[in-house]
Each structure stands twice: as C-alpha cells, then as structure tokens.
C-alpha cells in the first residue's frame, strides 16, 4: 500500500514534516498540538487488536458446490480420449502409464541385443549339429543295414528251419518214409532180434515181422513199453536221448508170423536232423 498522509502522521513527528507535508496537513491541523492529537488517535486505533474471524466451513462447501455447478469440468475431447488414460493428473509421475510403457519399451530394447547375439552364434552350432547328425544318420543306416541283413538271415534261417521242419515232418508222418530216411541216412542203430515172451521158443530162422503200428520214439530216459518188455537190447539205455521206436512191424518178405517183432532204439544225438527236429518241436 502506498503511503498517504495518514501514514505520514502516524510515522513522523511534527518537526520531521517537510514543507509540502505541512502544507498538505495545514487544512486539518495547524498546530503541533493538534497534530499530536491526530497522531495519538491514529496510533491508538491501529494498536487496537482487530480480530479476523474465519468463515464457517459450510460457507466454503456451499461456494465449492456452486463453483462446480457454475463451471463444470469440461475437458477437451483429445484429453479425455488419450491423455486422460496415459497421463492422468491425479497420479504421481512414476505411476503414470506412459512412463511405465516407456520403461517396458526400454527393457525390451535392451533385451533384444542379447537374443540377437544368440541368433548369430546359432549357425555354427547348427553346422556342428548337422555333422553330428550326419554321422549319426550314417551309423543308423549301417545299423539298419545290419539289422536288415540279420532279419534276412533270420528269415533265411526260418525258411531253412521251416524247410527242415517240413522235411522232418514229412519224414515223421509217413512210417514208410521214416524207414526210407533211416535207411538213406544209415542211422547207426543196433538191431537186436530176440524172441519175446511167447517167441522164446522160436528156433527157426524165419524172418521177423516188425509191427509197424508199434514203432515209437522214446524220449530221454523213458523206457518205452517195448524197452520195458526187454525186447530192445541194452544199447537203448546207453542212448537215453534217443528216439525210440517200438512195435514197428515190418513185414518180412517171406514170413507170415505176426508175433515176430522188431524193436530198436535210435540215438538222436547222433543224428543232427533228428536233434534239430526235437529242438524245434519243443
């Protein structure tokens, strides 16, 4: 506030007044006594404490409501659409979405070079891996070939076995063939002719008839009825794994005596074909 004549009266003594001030005051106070009276009044009034009351909070609330009603907040469209979201005024700067997005983008930009280095180094590794894979593939191919060969061999073996089995089966099925096979292969067997039971009285040299239906093969250590009957020689027991044939009735060309029997034992271990046959069958 600029100083006026009242301030001059309040601050200065009468003798301190300039000529212009005295002429200005001449209208209101001519003497020093009058001047001092005015000075005392002004000083006393100024010295009086003046309370400055505060209005009620209600008054302010009513005025705020009135202000909100009179000046509704109308933000620009562009602010509402974009900036209200990414730069909200009511949030501190570190919580504003635009800053958060910028931070994420920065992290992404810093992370990209790391992945780029990996990509550059990758072809070398890939080349090595390809070599390894080629070697592996070659190895696998060799193994595959070997496997194929093995399978082919196995197939051959199977075929051979099947052939053998068929052969053997064909040998077994027909007694006549068996006889032929035995004859052809010249199995070493001992044929002992002994009169059995009722035939012990036989003294002539008539041919012995083998009962075809009673020829059987005996397994290891299993005496056949023929063997038990004692019609087979003791050589049978020397070959417990042999094939035992009993009641093989062979019709002799010149004999009609049905009681004559031929019992014989065949050692399977001495014949490979038979051994294979046994192995395959069981």
The residue ranges that bind other proteins (CB under 8 A) are: 1-2, 4-6, 27-29, 34, 36-38, 40-56, 59-60, 62-64, 66-68, 70-71, 73
CB nearer other proteins, residue 37 or residue 159: 37
How far, in Å, CA of 89 to CA of 58, rounded?
Answer: 28
CB of 75 to other proteins, least distance (A): 11
178-206: b (≥16 Cβ within 10 Å) or e: bbebbeeeebebeeebeebeeeeebeeee
Kindly tell me which of 52 and 186 has the beta carbon lying closer to other proteins.
Answer: 52
245: β partners: 264
Task: Supply angle C-alpha 4, 5, 6, rounded to 5.
Answer: 90
Q: Which is nearer to other proteins, 45 or 86 (CB)?
A: 45
User: Which of 67, 79 has the CB closer to other proteins?
Assistant: 67
Minimum Å gap between C-beta 92 and other proteins is: 19
* Tokens matching residue 197: 């039971």
Q: CB of residue 76 vs other proteins: minimum separation in angstroms?
A: 13
H or E element, residue 227? helix 225-228
Shortest Å, Cβ 39 to other proteins: 9
Cα separation, 154 vs 149, in Å, equals: 8
Joined together, the tokens standing for residue 127 give: 């080349």
Distance CA 16, CA 104 (A): 75
The first and second tokens of residue 53, run together, are: 């009351």
Cβ of residue 67: shortest distance to other proteins, in angstroms? Answer: 5
Closest-CA residue to 262 (of 252, 247, 275): 247
Nearer of residues 11 and 130 to other proteins, judged by Cβ: 11
Instruction: Please identify, using beta-carbon distances, which residue of 71 and 203 lies nearer to other proteins.
Output: 71
Cβ of residue 103: shortest distance to other proteins, in angstroms?
31
Q: How far apart are CA 143 and CA 66, in angstroms?
A: 94
Please calculate the CA angle 96-100-105 and round it to the nearest 5 degrees.
150
CB of 31 to other proteins, least distance (A): 12
Q: What are phi and psi of 246, to 5 degrees?
A: -135, 160
Nearer to other proteins, 57 or 114 (CB): 57
């Amino acid at each position: 506030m600029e100083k006026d004549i009242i301030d001059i009266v309040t601050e200065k003594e009468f003798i301190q007044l300039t000529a212009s001030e005295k002429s200005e005051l001449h209208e209101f106070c001519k003497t020093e006594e009058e001047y001092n009276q005015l000075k005392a009044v002004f000083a006393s009034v100024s010295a009086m404490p003046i309370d400055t009351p505060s209005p009620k909070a209600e008054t302010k609330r009513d005025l705020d409501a009135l202000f909100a009603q009179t000046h509704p907040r109308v933000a620009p469209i562009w602010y509402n659409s974009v900036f209200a979201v990414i730069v909200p005024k009511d949030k501190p700067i570190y919580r504003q979405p635009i800053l958060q997005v910028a931070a994420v983008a920065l992290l992404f930009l810093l992370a990209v070079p790391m992945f780029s280095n990996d990509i550059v180094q990758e072809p070398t590794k890939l080349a090595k891996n390809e070599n390894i894979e080629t070697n592996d593939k070659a190895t696998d191919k060799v193994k595959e070939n070997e496997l194929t060969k093995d399978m082919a061999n196995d197939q051959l073996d199977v075929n051979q076995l099947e052939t053998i089995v068929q052969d053997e089966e064909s040998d077994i099925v027909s007694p006549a063939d068996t006889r032929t096979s035995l004859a052809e292969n010249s199995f070493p067997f001992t044929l002992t002719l002994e009169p059995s039971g009722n035939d012990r009285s036989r003294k002539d040299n008539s041919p012995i008839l083998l009962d075809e239906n009673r020829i059987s093969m005996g397994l290891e250590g299993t005496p056949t009825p023929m063997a038990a009957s004692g019609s087979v020689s003791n050589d049978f027991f020397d070959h417990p794994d042999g094939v035992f044939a009993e009641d093989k009735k062979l019709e002799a060309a010149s004999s009609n005596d049905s009681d004559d029997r031929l019992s014989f034992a065949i050692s399977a271990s001495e014949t490979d074909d038979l051994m294979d046959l046994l192995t395959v069958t069981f």
